[in-house]
Amino acid sequence: MGKLLAKIKKGSAEIIGFIILIVFIAVVAAPSIKTLGQTVKTGVDSTNTQVTQTIQQP
Dihedral through CA 10, CA 13, CA 19, CA 24, nearest 10?
A: -130
pLDDT value at position 1?
60
Burial 3-40 (b: 16+ CB within 10 A, else e): eeeeeeeeeeeeeeeeeeeeeeeeeeeeeeeeeeeeee
Q: Is the pLDDT of residue 13 over 80?
A: yes
Whether the model pTM is above 0.85: no
Give the mean model confidence (pLDDT) for residues 32-40.
93
Percent of the chain with pLDDT over 70: 84
Alpha helices of 1-58 — where are they, by DSSP H? 2-56
Give the residue with greater pLDDT, 24 vs 10: 24
The predicted pLDDT at position 26 comes to: 86
User: Average pLDDT of the chain?
Assistant: 87
